[in-house]
A and B are shown apart, each in its own frame.
Chain A
Amino acid sequence: MLAPSQLVSYILPGVILTIELTVLGNLLAAGIAFTVGFARLSKSTWLRLSARIFTEFFRGTSMYVQLFWAYFVLPLFGLALTPFQAAVLVLGLNSGAYASEIVRGAMLALPREQLEACIALNLSRWQRLRRVLLPQALLLMIPPFSNSFVELLKSTSIVSLISLSDMTFRAQTMRTQTGNTAIPFLTILILYFALALFISKVMRALERRLTPKAA
């Protein structure tokens, strides 16, 4: 029989690593999503094109391949990353490439009339964006960003490929060392699901906070 303490000592360090990867990866992803998303809306053809190539590249090559590449091939070019750095980088770049579509889509979904009202009120470009367009677009972005954050959480399960001991890796270790299959895997399934629920709860709370309220 498995003692509960055994379960905790096997899985807990993995939980922490999974959370770290999720938080850092998503932070990077959000930064990239806004940078690339806005670049794709830019007037400059050059910027638009490079943003487009960036997205197509990271969405087009599988994340697994990217992870291997970052870990095994980049060092050949003199850029040696720790497994953790490689994982955060790849998770963030990949997810950011997808999420840049969220940013772009939300900005494009705003009615053109809002921009015209800004011009009529003589707001500067920055003021238009900061005071009128972004507050409305952010609200539209929250639900899809919530999904994107959860997808990244799920993707962290592959980092054992480059020898990081995340939750999934820990469950595997426990399986081989204790011979018990059901408990470790059921446990981490529930943990992943709980983390996913947590993310969507937080995002929903954020959405409620940002929704303008009647006085």
Chain B
Amino acid sequence: MSEIRELYQELILDHNRNPQNFKPLPGANHHSEGFNPLCGDHYHIYIKTDENNIIEKITFDGKGCAISKASASLMTSFLKGKTVEEAIRAFESFHDVVTGKIDPETGMAELGKLAVFAGVRDFPVRVKCASLAWHTMKAALTETETVISTE
């Protein structure tokens, strides 16, 4: 049971129950749609940046498991007010931590609350759940693709 609690931290469960920024965003100037075909997770990320490339507003909607929903919720809260460059850097750090490439202690220092997702590294099949919102956010900002899939 303790490994399970390691993955499903209270903060994750809270954000699953009461997701933040969980709504569409009229006036968004970036948007992308992300799928995880393995489990049917499906989200939209909406972003409004200002003329200085600062993320003014960021929201999401869609459906998915607790990990993916909490991740989207915490990510949107975290990125609000950051620059596009900072968001892309955060994506890299987050990705490296959940895939176990770098130690959570070092990598998560700059990620603050997002450290709760460090437990995902012990559940390789769930890494895609934790990173889906991030991939979708990155696609929205870089506009390489508008529909992304984790497969």
A joins B in a complex? no
